[in-house]
Amino acid sequence: MPLLEVRDVHTYYGNIEALKGVSLTVEKGEIVTLIGGNGAGKTTTLRTICGLLKPRSGTIVLDGKDLARTKAHEIVNLGVAMVPEGRGVFSRLTVAENLDLGAYTRTDRGAIRRDLEMVLRLFPRLKERFRQIAGTLSGGEQQMLATGRALMAHPRLLLMDEPSMGLAPILVESIFDTLREVNREGTTILLVEQNAHMALQIANRGYVLQTGQIALAKSAEELQHDPMVRKVYLGID
């Protein structure tokens, strides 16, 4: 059984149908990427999975539990955490306070302490800036903090929305290297990313989303060699 299974999901903004029967699976331990152009429905897919949007029809199942009618905060408790596009850190709080908020649903203090140690090992820059106000961090550091805060929830499934957006190339490589390490530590990842080249390098499988529908579903290696993907998303003729 997949860790996550999305089946024939239709999500609307008012009368506008944003997702038109999206179906995808994520197996435990995988990195799965969802690529596509602006307005394709990538962020809507993540927001629907984590309960911020409710599908009009279709099912979303996490390890046997139906999420489609589950409230967003309850989905967090079931082990789903999302790093939103634009990072969304609490700018007036310190790095330490942001990380504490990531674990607000948890009571296992010993495990929280171990997860904090893991986050600071994955992101040593956050350790250096532990007492610094989050709003004074660079864009790359804020992305690290947003990811670290999500990991403090100890998720089974981490949803990542455009982690490379607005970052310098050297920071993009660092973020993706860290995502590999997060996955090796046991966290399953569903990654939305416009930088298809980087996403397909770290993913096991991928889906191409076009105008609210899945156009392709293949292994990451197969997608890297697909003529349409190479031309449209990788810029290779």
The answer to whether 176 and 196 are in contact (CB under 8 A) is: no
DSSP-derived pairing of the beta strands 213-219 and 31-35: unpaired
| In a domain? residue 85 | no
What is the predicted pLDDT for the residue at 167?
81
Q: What is the pLDDT of residue 1?
A: 83
Tell me if 86 is assigned to some domain. Answer: no
Residue 136 falls within a domain, yes or no?
no
Encode 55-67: b = buried (16+ Cβ within 10 Å), e = exposed. Answer: beebebbbeeeeb
Residue 16 is encoded by which pair of tokens? 């506008």
Tell me what pLDDT residue 88 has.
Answer: 83
Picking from 36, 49, 44, the residue whose alpha carbon sits closest to that of residue 5 is 49
Above 90 in pLDDT, residue 45? yes
Instruction: Specify the pLDDT at position 236.
Output: 82
pTM: 0.93
The verdict on residue 19 lying in a domain is: yes
Phi-psi region of 38 (alpha: psi -120 to 50; beta: other; left: phi over 0): beta
Gap between the Cα atoms of 116 and 175, Å rounded? 18
The DSSP bridge pattern shows strands 31-35 and 57-62 to be unpaired
Cβ pair 82, 42 in contact under 8 A: no
Q: Is residue 52 part of a domain?
A: yes
Contact 123, 102 (CB under 8 A): no
CB atoms within 10 A of CB 2: 16
55, part of any domain: yes
pLDDT at 213 over 90: yes
Which strands, in side-by-side order, build the sheet including 213-219? 80-83, 157-161, 188-192, 31-35, 205-210, 213-219
Residue 130: inside a domain, yes or no?
no
Instruction: Give the CATH number, domain containing residue 41.
Output: 3.40.50.300
Query: pLDDT tens digits for 1-37?
Result: 899 999 999 999 999 999 999 999 999 999 999 999 9
Q: Are 152 and 183 in contact (CB under 8 A)?
A: no
| pLDDT tens profile 130-181 | 999 999 999 889 999 999 999 999 999 999 999 988 888 888 888 899 999 9
* Domain around 235: 1-79+188-237
Specify if 164 maps to a domain: no
- Which is more confidently placed, 184 or 87? 184
For position 194, what pLDDT does the model report? 85
Provide the number of structural domains found in the chain: 1
Q: Is pLDDT of 86 > 80?
A: no
